[in-house]
Amino acid sequence: MIQWQALEEKLAELPLYIYSSIDPAALEFSRRVRQVCETECPMYGKTWACPPAVGSVEECEKKCRSFQKCLLIGTVTECEDIGNMDSALATRGGHERITNQVRDILRELGVKPYILSTEACAVCERCAYPDGLPCRLPGKMHPCIESHGINLIPTLETLGLGFQYGEHVVTWYSLLFYNE
């Protein structure tokens, strides 16, 4: 079993805005979130980290709920203008690096997390998915939270958190599911 105190000591060394243990059963899964992927996201069907490759919302829900624990982490970064997509997305790499650091901490503590993070996977220059080939680096690939149909807003509200903190602040979240 992971010692929460040992985990907290490691997390406290990282530039996290928030970390919290949440119950996977309390997450809200919604077909409406998936519809946004299908109708509004240019990455739909382009990577292994996006729908439909990640499976149906029901399959994603079953997988996430199969874990006993979930660690939510969040970062905030200043940017020129959150309305400028390039400026906002430029902050994403930093959050992904921190997510990978938390992944490594959990691995050191003896668990193998299943990770949902931000946007589509950008590990390879060109994803293998459109070519019908398997993911080259499944250990490094993190589907985004929304790809699984998760509406994170109710969870954030319960924790007193938000998604937006003004026009110069970008907020990113990741979920790390694990079994003890």
Amino acid identity of residue 65, one-letter, is R
Task: In angstroms, give the least distance from the CB of 16 to ligand SF4.
Answer: 24
> Strand (E) positions, the chain?
18-22, 28-29, 69-78, 114-116, 150-151, 169-178
For residue 106, state whether it binds ligand SF4 (rule: CB under 6 A).
no
Task: In angstroms, give the least distance from the CB of 133 to ligand SF4.
Answer: 8
For residue 47, state whether it binds ligand SF4 (rule: CB under 6 A).
yes
- Look-up of token digits 């921190």: 98
For residue 48, state whether it binds ligand SF4 (rule: CB under 6 A).
yes
Helix (H) or strand (E) holding 105: helix 92-108
Out of 107, 112, 136, 168, the residue judged to bind ligand SF4 by CB under 6 A: 136
143-162 mask for ligand SF4 (x: CB under 6 A)? --------------------
Closest CA to 118 of 94, 135, 101: 94
Tell me the longest C-alpha to C-alpha distance in the chain: 45
Task: In angstroms, give the least distance from the CB of 44 to ligand SF4.
Answer: 14
Look up residue 168 and give its two tokens.
């110069």
Residues that bind ligand SF4 (CB under 6 A): 47-49, 121, 123-124, 127-129, 135-137, 140-141
